[in-house]
């Protein structure tokens, strides 16, 4: 596959080479080929241009996942506008912040939310507020219907032009807008398409949300870069997903998706016979899930590692060992290094744990309107500080052991949560766990575990502690094990340890 320098070229190349090839299908039977994609996205782009949207202008989007939302994203790519996705679950107060911060020329919302968000958009001085429903209704659809198809994608757009602003989850304060360029998107999608062996014969079963880099860029852009197709599901539903595996060849999900798929009796080798690749990301995949999925389906999940600010950084190989618990070696063109947290020196010894730093064409241009934050997150020699703790083994495979902010320092010892979680998750009857630190009067921080049991399991706190005592150094053993019904998660399935820390802040106050 030849290198593609601009995302808009993907659509034009596909239409030249195979206009009738499937781009998108829905469970209801609606089908768009690449010629349809060009025309429909071209009308949306023309409508936006008619509202004064120019290269670099922001288009903020808070709508339900739908075919129309995908067409809007691609229209922004073709026009050279910067796409600003906003989670549909965000409150008006949060939307107010995103609009004030990104200052979009156009904001697009669900028709049902128009009355709620109209005052917010007005206060943020948004010039045009449009609606777009998952069923195709809305003022943007009407504008597009009356618009001419743009003759070709905007040609004044350079590789360093802003393609998207994606806001981080904001677990440590106000969300920051990560500025992703067209070169970031194009380089990463091309590498993923090559590394994961995408061809025009592939069909991706798309179950991810469209407000995050996983569902937008790792999924849609890789499809576009390879001229392949996708089945667009409105959301993840385990039973429906199993039923549609026969229509696809590739699936991308988060660990929660895989644990729920494993609860479906219909998930077996027959159901996955047409599939060639299952990818997991956005959160660590438990080794037990990896192994059980392989046993049930005959497929080894390919785990990769990415971030909002960097897109995808590493991936287990398509051909070669897919190591459970590892996110694989760096992708072509991406460099990863480990930094000693105390000395600041680059670790050269394999399996040394430290903070991970990334460099490559995938790394974002900085934080929107926040030069100070941007400077603080890059080293003097241009490496991005991920905030992740990890190690690289002698074979070049990267292992993520936690976030810097999640490191527990107990009695002067560093405790890496992932190491303790791996031992807890290996206990028969444990479904999943999360290890975190909260204030302790004696140790500074007390190692604490929240554990979810499998259905029917009757383990007690004492049972769990007795199981890990022979397997962990004394300082790593949790002071308490809290049995919970479920772990708090964000919309991408990542465990929110900040919530666990806040909820249990006074756990050891009386000790």
Per residue, the 3-state secondary structure of 243-256, as one string, reads HHHHHCCEEEECHH
Q: Are residues 147 and 263 in the same domain?
A: no
**Residue 171 scores a pLDDT above 80:** no
85 falls within a domain = yes
- Rounded to the nearest integer, the mean pLDDT of the chain is 92
Unique residue bearing structure tokens 């005052």? 119
Give the count of beta carbons closer than 10 Å to the beta carbon of residue 151: 7
Position 172 pLDDT exceeds 50: no
The confidence band for 169, taking pLDDT boundaries of 50, 70 and 90, is: low
Assign residue 289 the CATH number of its domain.
Answer: 3.40.50.12780
Per-residue pLDDT reduced to its tens digit, 437-467? 998 877 888 999 999 999 999 999 999 999 9
Prediction pTM value: 0.85
* DSSP code per residue over 95-139: HHHHHHHH--SEEEE-GGGHHHHHHHHHHTT-SEEEE--TTS-SH
Q: Is residue 128 included in any domain, yes or no?
A: yes
Residues 58 and 138 in one domain: yes
Shared domain for 242 and 386, answered yes or no, is yes
- Domain assignment present for 10: no
pLDDT digits (tens, 9 = 90+) for 69-88: 999 999 999 999 999 999 88
Q: Which residues pair with 448 in a beta bridge?
A: 436, 480
* CA 383 – CA 337 distance, rounded (Å): 9
Q: Which contiguous run of DSSP H or E holds residue 282?
A: none
Residue with tokens 């756990």: 507
The pLDDT tens digits for 97-152 are 999 999 999 999 999 999 999 999 999 999 999 999 999 999 999 999 998 887 66
Report the CATH number at residue 134.
3.40.50.980
Residue 476 belongs to some domain of the structure:
yes
pLDDT of 3 strictly over 80: no
pLDDT score at 299: 97
Same domain, 133 and 265: no
Write down the pLDDT at residue 1.
35
Least-confidence region, from 373-382, 410-419, 474-483: 410-419
Burial class (CB in 10 A: 0-12, 13-18, 19+), 223: buried
Q: 259 and 386: one domain?
A: yes
pLDDT level of residue 255 (50, 70, 90 thresholds): confident
Do the domain assignments include residue 303? yes
DSSP H stretches of helix in 126-250: 139-145, 182-195, 213, 222-226, 238-244
Paired strand residues for 25: 31, 231
Domain boundary among 375, 403, 431: 403
**Within a 10 A sphere around the Cβ of 171, how many other Cβ atoms?**
14
Domain boundary among 380, 403, 426: 403
SS (H, E, C) 309-363: CCEEEEECCCCCCCCCCCCECECCCCEEEEECCCCCCECCCCCCCEEEEEECCCC
Report how far residue 336's alpha carbon sits from residue 396's, in angstroms, rounded to the nearest whole number.
Answer: 10
Domain assignment present for 16: no
Residue 269 has a pLDDT of: 97
Say yes or no: 332 and 444 in one domain: no
Q: Which of 487, 489, 437, 483 is nearest to 463 (CA)?
A: 483
Q: What is the pLDDT of residues 122-135, one digit of tens each?
A: 999 999 999 999 99
Side-by-side strand order, sheet with 82-85: 128-131, 106-109, 58-62, 82-85, 162-167, 177-181, 366-367
Regarding whether 424 and 334 lie in a shared domain, the answer is no
Looking at the DSSP bridge assignments, the partners of residue 251 are: 205, 278
Residues 343 and 472 in one domain: no
Q: How far, in Å, are 80, 225, 449, 474 from residue 74 at the CA level?
A: 10, 12, 43, 54
Q: Does residue 186 lie within any of the structural domains? A: no
Q: So what's the pLDDT on residue 2? A: 37
Q: Which residues of 375-408 are buried (b: 16+ CB within 10 A; e: fewer)?
A: eebeeeeebbbbbbbbbbeeeebbbbbbbeebbb
The pairing of beta strand 229-232 with beta strand 250-253: unpaired
* Averaged pLDDT for residues 301-320: 96
Is residue 11 included in any domain, yes or no?
no
Q: What's the confidence (pLDDT) of residue 122?
A: 95
Q: Which backbone phi and psi does 138 adopt, to 5 degrees?
A: 125, 160
Out of 114, 146, 181, pick the residue that ends a domain.
181
pLDDT digits (tens, 9 = 90+) for 27-74: 999 999 999 999 999 999 999 999 999 999 999 999 999 999 999 999
Instruction: State whether 387 and 422 are in the same domain.
Output: no
Total number of domains in the chain: 3
Only one residue has tokens 């100070």, namely: 372
Can you give the pLDDT at residue 155?
Answer: 60
Do 257 and 395 fall into the same domain? Answer: yes
- Contact status, residue 236 vs residue 257, Cβ threshold 8 Å: yes
Same-domain pairing of 446 and 358: no
Name the most confidently modeled range: 404-413, 426-435, 501-510.
426-435
Domain match, 244 and 172 both: no
Domain of 469, in residue numbers: 407-503
Q: With contact defined as beta carbons under 8 Å apart, do 392 and 350 qualify?
A: yes
Note the pLDDT tens digit of each residue in 198-224: 999 999 999 999 998 999 999 999 999
Alpha-carbon torsion angle 185, 186, 191, 192, nearest 10: 50
Residue 72 CA: distances (Å) to CA of 21, 79, 222, 463: 20, 10, 17, 53
Decide: 479 and 446 in contact? Cβ < 8 Å: yes
Are 233 and 253 in contact by the 8 Å Cβ rule? The answer is no
CATH value at residue 475? 3.30.300.30
């Amino acid at each position: 596959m030849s290198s593609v320098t601009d995302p808009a070229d993907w659509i034009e190349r596909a239409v030249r080479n195979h206009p009738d090839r499937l781009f998108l299908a829905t469970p209801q039977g609606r089908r768009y080929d690449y010629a349809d994609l060009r025309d429909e996205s071209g009308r949306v782009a023309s409508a936006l241009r008619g509202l004064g949207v120019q290269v670099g202008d922001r288009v903020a989007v808070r709508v339900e996942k739908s075919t129309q939302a995908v067409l809007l994203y691609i229209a922004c790519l073709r026009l050279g506008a910067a796409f600003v996705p906003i989670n549909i679950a965000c409150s008006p107060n949060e939307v107010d912040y995103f609009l004030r911060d990104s200052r979009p020329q156009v904001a697009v919302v669900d028709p049902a939310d128009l009355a709620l968000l109209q005052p917010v958009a007005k206060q943020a001085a948004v010039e045009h507020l449009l609606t777009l429903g998952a069923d195709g209704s809305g003022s943007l659809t009407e504008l597009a219907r009356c618009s001419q198809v743009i003759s070709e994608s905007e040609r004044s757009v350079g590789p360093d032009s802003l393609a998207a602003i994606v806001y981080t989850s904001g677990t440590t304060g106000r969300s920051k807008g990560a500025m992703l360029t067209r070169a970031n998107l194009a380089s990463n999608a091309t590498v993923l398409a090559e590394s994961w062996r995408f061809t025009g014969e592939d069909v991706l079963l798309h179950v991810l949300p469209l407000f995050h880099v996983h569902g937008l860029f790792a999924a849609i852009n890789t499809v576009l870069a390879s001229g392949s197709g996708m089945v667009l599901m409105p959301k993840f539903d385990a039973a429906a997903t199993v039923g549609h595996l026969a229509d696809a060849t590739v699936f991308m999900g988060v660990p929660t998706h895989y644990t729920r798929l494993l609860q479906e009796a219909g998930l077996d080798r027959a159901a996955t016979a047409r599939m060639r690749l299952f990818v997991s990301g956005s959160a660590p995949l438990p080794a037990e899930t990896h192994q059980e999925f392989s046993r049930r389906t005959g497929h080894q999940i390919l785990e990769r590692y990415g971030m909002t600010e960097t897109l995808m950084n590493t991936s287990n190989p398509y051909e070669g060992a897919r190591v459970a618990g590892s996110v694989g070696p760096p992708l072509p063109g991406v460099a990863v290094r480990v930094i000693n947290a105390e000395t600041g020196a680059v670790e050269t010894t394999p399996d040394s744990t430290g903070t991970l730093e990334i460099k490559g064409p995938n790394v974002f241009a900085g934080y929107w309107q926040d030069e100070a934050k941007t400077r603080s997150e890059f080293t003097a020699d241009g490496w991005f500080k991920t905030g992740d703790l990890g190690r690289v083994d002698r074979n070049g495979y990267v292992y993520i052991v936690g976030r810097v902010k999640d490191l527990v320092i107990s009695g002067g010892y560093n405790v890496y949560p992932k190491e303790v979680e791996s031992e807890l998750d290996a206990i028969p009857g444990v479904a999943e766990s999360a290890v975190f630190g909260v204030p302790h009067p004696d140790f500074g921080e007390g190692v604490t575990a929240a554990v979810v049991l499998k259905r029917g399991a009757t383990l007690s706190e004492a049972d769990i502690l007795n199981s890990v005592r022979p397997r962990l150094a004394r300082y790593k053993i949790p002071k308490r094990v809290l049995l919970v019904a479920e772990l708090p998660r964000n919309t991408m399935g990542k465990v929110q340890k900040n919530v666990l820390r806040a909820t249990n802040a006074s756990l050891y106050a009386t000790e």
